[in-house]
Copies of this chain bind each other. A is one copy, B any other.
Amino acid sequence: MENTEVDILKERADRPSSQRKIAKILAAARIEFFTSGFSGSSIEAIAARAEVSKVTIYHWFKTKENLFAEVVKAQCRDMSESLVGENSKTRSLRENLIFAAENMLNAIMQEDRIRFDRIMAAEVNRDPKVGAYFLDNGPRALLQNLIDLLKISRDKGEIQSDNLISSAEMFVSLVIGRIDLFLRYGEKIKLTTPQKRERAKRAVDAWMLIHQK
């Protein structure tokens, strides 16, 4: 997951038609890879879905592994929005936590995200770097955002915590619970917006009970 080789290629692809095709390839590859996995997907199927010649794929992405890595990178980019929120200073901690909790619930219940979770872990055996890349840009980033948020409140004396890392992890755990597990294994869980809010509040209440002074 290191290099920027393909990005360089993409820069050279001034032509809009090329950029359009590259985008279509990446979109098609995302669907194929996140449905059938790496070895279960074929370049020809991706080419067909992208309505593009197989040679074109090999032109822009040298190899299947490279294409896969680019898809992962793109997906990680899409997922890396802050779930905690920016304007956190104007709101109370409780409001901020509920906001973050609802965001997290929305994020993990997206079909795209579920399919991503299904496939990615399986590829760790083939290439551990994709696992580390995802962890850094996904869960670890979220945890850090939360820690930053909690630190402010602790310094203000609003909450009690001798271990912000553990506190942040507890929060995420209480919010998500086992939902992601069941989703990953095919359980059809659907929460309406009020249900998500209810769950978010329940998690925040529990967490604040643990961390009250």
Contact = CB atoms under 8 A, between A and B. Distances in A.
A36 B40 CA distance: 11
Contacts of A176: 173
A182 B37 CA distance: 20
A169 interface: yes
Interface SS, A side? helix
A187 interface: yes
Interface stretch (A11-19, A96-104, A119-127): A119-127
Interface stretch (A1-9, A53-61, A79-87, A202-210): A202-210
Count of identical protomers in the assembly: 2
A69 interface: no
Nearest to A176: B173
A166 interface: yes
Enumerate the 4 nearest inter-chain pairs by beta-carbon distance, A residue then B residue, closest first.
A131-B186, A122-B122, A131-B185, A173-B173
Interface in A1-60: 35-40
Interface in A173-199: 173-174, 176-178, 180-182, 184-187
A185 B39 contact: no
Given A117-B121, A118-B121, A121-B121, A170 B135 contact: no
A134 B36 contact: no
Interface string A151-186: 000000000000000100110111011101110111
A81 to B, nearest CB: 19
Nearest to A175: B173
A132 interface: yes
A118 B128 contact: no
Contact of A169 (B120, B177, B180): B177
A184 B122 CA distance: 9
26 contacts: A35-B125, A36-B125, A40-B40, A40-B126, A118-B125, A121-B184, A122-B122, A124-B184, A124-B185, A124-B186, A131-B184, A131-B187, A139-B181, A143-B178, A166-B202, A170-B174, A170-B177, A170-B206, A172-B178, A173-B173, A173-B176, A173-B178, A180-B181, A206-B210, A209-B209, A210-B210
